[in-house]
Structure 1
Amino acid sequence: MIAINNLTFELGARALYDEANWHIKPGEKIGLIGANGTGKTTLLKMIVGEYTPTSGTISMAKDLTMGYLNQDLLSYSSDKNIVHVAMEAFARQNQLHDEIETLLNKLETDYSEDLLNKLSDKQHEFELLDGYNIEYKAHEILAGLGFSDEEQKRKLNTFSGGWRMRVMLAKILLQAPDILLLDEPTNHLDLPSIQWLEDYLKAFTGAIIIVSHDRWFLDKVINRTVETRKGKLTVYAGNYSFYLEEKAQREEIQRGEFKNQQSKIKQEERLIERFRAKASKAKMAQSRIKMLDKMERVDDVDDDNPTVNFSFRFSKQSGRHVVTLEHVSKKYPNLEILDNTDALIEKGDKIALIGANGKGKSTALRIIANADKEYTGTMTTGHNVTTTFFAQHQLESLHLENQIIQELQAFAPKHTDTELRTILGSFLFTGDDVFKKIKVLSGGEKSRVALAKALTADANFLVLDEPTNHLDMQSVNILIQALQQYEGTLIVVSHDRYFLDNVANKIWFIEDKKINQYPGTYQEFDEWYSKRKLDPKAAPLPAPKKEEKKPEPVKLPQSENKAQQLKKLNQDLTKLEENIASAEKEVKEMEAQLADNTIFNQTEKLKQINNAYQLKKMDLGALQQKWEVLADQIMELES
């Protein structure tokens, strides 16, 4: 179908591709992956003819039709409604429609047989091309991509860039080309639209090449993975999960080959060094030197997926109830978002707020973060709750003249430079990268800086709106690891389902203007919701998981007034915090003992320390529960 042979593409002094080869077969559904800057978009542009290779060839049949979705299409403008824009895909059908209209007008005055024959031929071709159904097809695909009947009547120019990109995608899908080339097709889609696109692409009979950072999407759609790395293209015969397993196996083999070769090289070098000075052995030494020079070297394996270890700090533990929403309603002039809804965020919750665009996800986040106060009902923040709110518009608040390290120093002065550089290193800013000015960074790099800032805040509650936008897979994986280590509470909006499945322990979804809760992971929710769509009665919303029994509140003498009660409770709380700090210190000391290699072989001692460790952990848990109860009582008295 398409043959890429010995492809080289140079960008200045750098070769993005160096004699790369790849054959694309009919019907293959391919994920083109690789780190940012390795030339994925460049390769698509070479395939469609927008860029010319430095050397090598890209061969294909002359009649091959291609549909190419890329971010440049955001500049497309039209004052036609979006149905007509989408129907531009049917060039021949539209031409025939106009010709038929012209012939029908002529027939009002001219009844010649020649005109009737022409009309019959045109109508026959129009019917063969399914011309009478093209408008229905356009409506169907636009609906699948999230456009309501009313929105389909609006002009393209009245939509924002993300929605215009959906129209361009609809137009390309309606063309039904032999091969689809899709560069980040899920960037501007909400979850229902992504799921619709997955089903559409799985049923598509042509070939597909997808560039995407959405692991879940790739796993659902593709049956081949092609990695662009170090100027080469490597093919894996499966989806993204298969690629990860297969690559790990290949790397293990490569790592073994590298170690064996290094051992052999060192052995040869020792022999050469030993015999080089002896005249009788000099010839043999020279022969071995030539052999080493000719040896094809095996590269060591690069670690593309670093593990990170964040040291989160927040000076105060929050109370049990972090945020409480009661009878909250939110309306815009022509749209009602929330209607008399209640919700509760508890300490330790990691919540994913999901749903279609326009259902109120970002609005709910802004209310929870106290960034939107134009609503009815009440939003109550719990005792000792400190909040950090991350949203994409906050990229604009970065100080452009600051260096990256300066931006974090100003925001988190309590952290040392070493700690800040460690955090930035986790977000792939290493060495002198930390001295780059914000103004020279890409959108994805700015997003990583803003996230690093959010994670250095002294906050026990994180509110995150689309934190994975502009992040590649490696950066998303780093963010997942960071949030898994975060011991506070968080709520996040994202359309990256792999990210949500690895971060969230509860799912919130807005339905009928109410916030509903599913007590489980995203994958569990997805399976439940799929069953519910088929038969709502067979899959009722599961009940929340039962809470552990909390200690009884401290009973205060009736004779004491409110001020006296508060003083006594705060004294108890301070004492309890000292006990918790002491218990935490003991737990860490025991963890250090358990990690000590010297006691691994001392079975009895290891058992004793482990038993003491488990008991101390239970004591710490009990102290923390007592703290939550006391904090709740203080909050009630203060309100």
Structure 2
Amino acid sequence: MLIGLQNVTFEFGARVIVEDATWHIQPGERIGLVGYNGTGKSTILKVLVGEYTPSKGSVEKGKDTTIGYLHQDLLSFDTNDNITEVALGAFERVRQLEKDIEQLGSELEKDPENEDLLIRYTDSLHELDVLDGYNIHHKAEEVLHGLGFSNEDLARPYKEFSGGWRMRVLLAKMILQQPDVLLMDEPTNHLDLPSIEWLEKYLLHYKGSVVIVSHDKFFLNRMVNKIVEVYQQELHIYSGDYNYYEQEKALRIEMQQKAFENQQDYIRQQERFIERFKAKASKAAQAQSIQKRLDKLDKVEDVQLERPDLRINFQLEKVPGKVLVALKDVSKQFGNIRILSHTDAEIERGDKIALIGANGKGKSTALRIVGGTESFEGERVWGHNVEESFYAQHQLEALTLTNTILEELQQCGSKKTDVELRSLLGAFLFGGEDVEKKIRVLSGGEKARVALAKTIVSKANFLILDEPTNHLDMHSVELLAEALNKYAGSYILVSHDRYFISKTANKIWEIVDNKIKEFKGTYQEWVEWNERMAKQAAANPAPAAAEPVKAAPVVKETKPQQTNIDREAQKELQRQQRKLATLETDINKAKTEKQRIEDSMGNPEIYADKQKFVTLENDYKKIQEQLNALNKEYETVFEKVMELEG
């Protein structure tokens, strides 16, 4: 065990977060810590690292266990150092050794015969080598690049970056420290899709244990092998990913409900017997015995799934024309940074568009251009009867802090009565006296819900949504996705939550080479299409440059292929594709065997036995030849498949 809770109870005043909770984090575990908003996930992380002390029980930690803790409060850190220097702060011992070596080197120049200095100098060099100290700059740059920083960014001062980018630098530093346990509170909130995918790959090979609080279901499904749920002041542990947890939780609830109902039937039956026979002398003793047995019965609790439900219903007043907004010859740049260049795009009635891509590509800028709140060159044509509503992160800051929640909605111009507004706020989990709370005392999640309520109260037929799922728990994200699926209007949204995008979008927009590229299909179809394109590009790097003349005949042949020739070609294509799949399997087997032989050749005992060594060397030559032949055949078959697909 690296760290854990033993019979821990933790309370905030009268509110119990967990009671008598036990949880041990073992080496190599990747754990998702989940629960509804307000159940205390972040609090439990703070208990683990010692920021909070439990009321009862103990936090147990291995003597040499190192912990890294990524959380929002880290953003108070500030410095003039460049971001590479901040990330290199992970290598404290290496940096100290570098200073020591420089100092000892200077002293040795003055006193080259000093044996004590020479020994210390040699020992420091050896320790630096053991710690792989010569590669720390390369490691830091690799991690920073993975998290989305360019070469130019590496020399920029930390204080020049916004909060989200600062959090990435601190995440890079924490990853480079390689603690035994990495605790991460909403790490994907400040990352774009490419950076999330890079972080997934990095953490999957991370040697330490990882605990993640996240509302990104895709991220958890790819990352974790255990789920710990904070539910009804208890920790419930599930061995599997997030999908397994959802299925298993539903099964547990169903089994407990059946056990409860069966026990209630039994209790009612026994109570009827007692009631009927307690006054009858011959049966009184038996009735008393049954009553004692019932008193000692270990009661099964009634199970009701407790969860806060957003009840979101969109209402539309007007039906817009076919085209809601058209961008014509649009260009936009900030200084020397060009975002869009002479691009065109249209949003039609019924479109549900996800605008995706790396940070810095201009997604939010494009969204503001669509919404008419950003200046640009070119033309934006607004459609007939379009009533838009724009939800963006900056709207959280635009809320009037001195207003109550109810007052904030009263000032939206929705013409709804207070009773209707209270009902709407109830759907957003603000019940009873909550609506009288001032905006300034609300958490980030509560402010996000108020801003979403303001967007929805508008009766708009076109929604523009910038990161609407930030600060929402997973259940609320699902409910928002369901509501958007039922929504009769159109929308365009920016989100880094792949689960949310996959549930809501029927078109994908991506900014590529300063143009808006449209993909007509779902997020999953877009991912699969990209993977196919990447495989083709990897297998056939530059066919266009090598054989430009082949393009013309292919175009000419496309028309008459709806015949028997086409069917024969299709059959041949399928045959070659099957052959390709078989070859891929054979190549993987050959690679595994080659790796096994290489591992054996690294064993010194092999070289003590000449016969074993000769056999192994022959096996290695054979497998290498086999692998070469398979790769050659694979290339030939792949080219045939490409021809047939073309």
Q: Shorter chain as normaliser: what TM range?
A: 0.7 to 0.9
Q: Deviations over 1:435-486 (max 9, x none)?
A: 4343332111111121122112121100001111111112212211111110
Moved more, 52-61 or 179-188: 52-61
Partners of 2:314 and 2:68 in 1: CA distance? 46
Q: Deviations over 1:573-605 (max 9, x none)?
A: xxxxxxxxxxxxxxxxxxxxxxxxxxxxxxxxx
Question: What pairs with 1:288-299 in structure 2 (closer than 5 Å)?
Answer: 288-299=290-301
Matched with 1:129 is 131
Partners of 2:101 and 2:464 in 1: CA distance? 58
Secondary structure of the residue that 2:325 maps to in structure 1? Answer: strand
Deviation, structure 1 residue 270: 4.0
Q: For the structure 1 residues 453 and 257, does the alpha-carbon distance in structure 2 shift closer, same or farther, using more than 3 Å as the test?
A: same
Question: What pairs with 1:132-171 in structure 2 (closer than 5 Å)?
Answer: 132-171=134-173
Secondary structure of the residue that 2:324 maps to in structure 1? Answer: strand
One-letter amino acid matched to 1:225: I
Partners of 1:59 and 1:214 in 2: CA distance? 29
One-letter amino acid matched to 2:39: T
Aligned equivalent of 2:178, options 176, 186, 189: 176
Moved more, 275-284 or 476-485: 275-284
Matched with 2:470 is 469
Is the 1:304–1:474 Cα contact (8 Å) retained in structure 2? no
1:194 and 2:196 correspond? yes
Matched with 1:509 is 510
Is the 2:330–2:377 Cα contact (8 Å) retained in structure 1? yes
Partners of 2:413 and 2:63 in 1: CA distance? 59
Partners of 1:248 and 1:412 in 2: CA distance? 42
Q: Deviations over 1:72-97 (max 9, x none)?
A: 21111222111111111111111110
Q: For the structure 1 residues 425 and 279, does the alpha-carbon distance in structure 2 shift closer, same or farther, using more than 3 Å as the test?
A: farther
One-letter amino acid matched to 2:180: D
Matched with 2:228 is 226
Moved more, 432-441 or 461-470: 432-441
Question: What pairs with 1:548-563 in structure 2 (closer than 5 Å)?
Answer: none
Secondary structure of the residue that 2:390 maps to in structure 1? Answer: strand
1:32 and 2:47 correspond? no
Matched with 1:91 is 92
Partners of 1:264 and 1:284 in 2: CA distance? 16
Is the 2:37–2:472 Cα contact (8 Å) retained in structure 1? no
Is the 1:447–1:470 Cα contact (8 Å) retained in structure 2? yes
One-letter amino acid matched to 1:208: V
Partners of 2:466 and 2:330 in 1: CA distance? 20
Deviation, structure 1 residue 380: 0.6
Secondary structure of the residue that 2:188 maps to in structure 1? Answer: coil
Partners of 1:414 and 1:268 in 2: CA distance? 59
Q: For the structure 1 residues 76 and 25, does the alpha-carbon distance in structure 2 shift closer, same or farther, using more than 3 Å as the test?
A: same
Is the 1:222–1:239 Cα contact (8 Å) retained in structure 2? yes
Partners of 2:283 and 2:410 in 1: CA distance? 62
Partners of 1:523 and 1:419 in 2: CA distance? 39
Q: For the structure 1 residues 291 and 425, does the alpha-carbon distance in structure 2 shift closer, same or farther, using more than 3 Å as the test?
A: farther
Q: For the structure 1 residues 285 and 452, does the alpha-carbon distance in structure 2 shift closer, same or farther, using more than 3 Å as the test?
A: farther
Q: Deviations over 1:346-403 (max 9, x none)?
A: 100000001111111011111111111x211101111111111111221233344444
Partners of 1:132 and 1:308 in 2: CA distance? 54
Q: CA RMSD in A?
A: 2.3
Secondary structure of the residue that 1:353 maps to in structure 2? Answer: strand
Q: Deviations over 1:30-78 (max 9, x none)?
A: 1111122222222222222222222212223211122111112111122
Q: Deviations over 1:145-203 (max 9, x none)?
A: 11111111011122122111111111110011212111111111111111100000011
Question: What pairs with 1:1-16 in structure 2 (closer than 5 Å)?
Answer: 1=1, 2-16=3-17
1:209 and 2:191 correspond? no
Q: For the structure 1 residues 477 and 459, does the alpha-carbon distance in structure 2 shift closer, same or farther, using more than 3 Å as the test?
A: same
Matched with 1:528 is 529
Question: What pairs with 1:73-472 in structure 2 (closer than 5 Å)?
Answer: 73-114=74-115, 115-275=117-277, 287-304=289-306, 310-372=312-374, 374-411=375-412, 413-415=414-416, 419-472=420-473
Secondary structure of the residue that 2:187 maps to in structure 1? Answer: coil
Partners of 1:445 and 1:204 in 2: CA distance? 34
Partners of 2:269 and 2:200 in 1: CA distance? 54
Is the 2:386–2:461 Cα contact (8 Å) retained in structure 1? yes
State how many pairs are aligned: 539
Q: For the structure 1 residues 416 and 256, does the alpha-carbon distance in structure 2 shift closer, same or farther, using more than 3 Å as the test?
A: farther
One-letter amino acid matched to 2:340: L
Partners of 1:414 and 1:266 in 2: CA distance? 54
Secondary structure of the residue that 2:190 maps to in structure 1? Answer: coil
Matched with 1:619 is none
Unaligned 5+ residue runs, structure 2? 544-646
One-letter amino acid matched to 1:34: G
Is the 1:507–1:517 Cα contact (8 Å) retained in structure 2? yes
Deviation, structure 1 residue 415: 4.2
One-letter amino acid matched to 2:152: E
Deviation, structure 1 residue 526: 1.9
Partners of 1:284 and 1:453 in 2: CA distance? 65
Matched residues, percent identical?
A: 56
Partners of 1:401 and 1:93 in 2: CA distance? 51
One-letter amino acid matched to 1:378: E
Deviation, structure 1 residue 253: 0.6
Moved more, 229-238 or 241-250: 229-238
Partners of 2:121 and 2:23 in 1: CA distance? 47
One-letter amino acid matched to 2:102: E
Matched with 2:42 is 41
Partners of 1:425 and 1:477 in 2: CA distance? 18
One-letter amino acid matched to 2:319: Q
Deviation, structure 1 residue 307: 6.8
Partners of 1:21 and 1:308 in 2: CA distance? 31
Matched with 1:594 is none
Deviation, structure 1 residue 427: 2.3
Partners of 1:338 and 1:235 in 2: CA distance? 48
Q: For the structure 1 residues 255 and 322, does the alpha-carbon distance in structure 2 shift closer, same or farther, using more than 3 Å as the test?
A: same
Partners of 1:245 and 1:457 in 2: CA distance? 37
Deviation, structure 1 residue 298: 2.2
Q: For the structure 1 residues 438 and 272, does the alpha-carbon distance in structure 2 shift closer, same or farther, using more than 3 Å as the test?
A: farther
Is the 2:313–2:483 Cα contact (8 Å) retained in structure 1? no
Is the 2:31–2:227 Cα contact (8 Å) retained in structure 1? yes
Deviation, structure 1 residue 206: 1.4
Moved more, 2-11 or 17-26: 2-11
Partners of 2:147 and 2:413 in 1: CA distance? 42
Is the 1:307–1:481 Cα contact (8 Å) retained in structure 2? no
Partners of 1:481 and 1:85 in 2: CA distance? 42
Q: Deviations over 1:88-108 (max 9, x none)?
A: 111111111000000121223
1:487 and 2:497 correspond? no
Partners of 1:537 and 1:124 in 2: CA distance? 42
Is the 1:21–1:232 Cα contact (8 Å) retained in structure 2? no
Is the 1:39–1:228 Cα contact (8 Å) retained in structure 2? yes
Is the 1:79–1:156 Cα contact (8 Å) retained in structure 2? yes
Q: For the structure 1 residues 18 and 452, does the alpha-carbon distance in structure 2 shift closer, same or farther, using more than 3 Å as the test?
A: same
Secondary structure of the residue that 2:159 maps to in structure 1? Answer: helix
One-letter amino acid matched to 2:90: A
Deviation, structure 1 residue 320: 0.6
Partners of 1:494 and 1:371 in 2: CA distance? 19
One-letter amino acid matched to 2:478: N
Q: For the structure 1 residues 305 and 525, does the alpha-carbon distance in structure 2 shift closer, same or farther, using more than 3 Å as the test?
A: farther
Is the 2:310–2:476 Cα contact (8 Å) retained in structure 1? no
Partners of 1:499 and 1:143 in 2: CA distance? 26
Partners of 1:464 and 1:357 in 2: CA distance? 16
One-letter amino acid matched to 1:49: G
Partners of 2:538 and 2:458 in 1: CA distance? 45
Secondary structure of the residue that 1:58 maps to in structure 2? Answer: strand
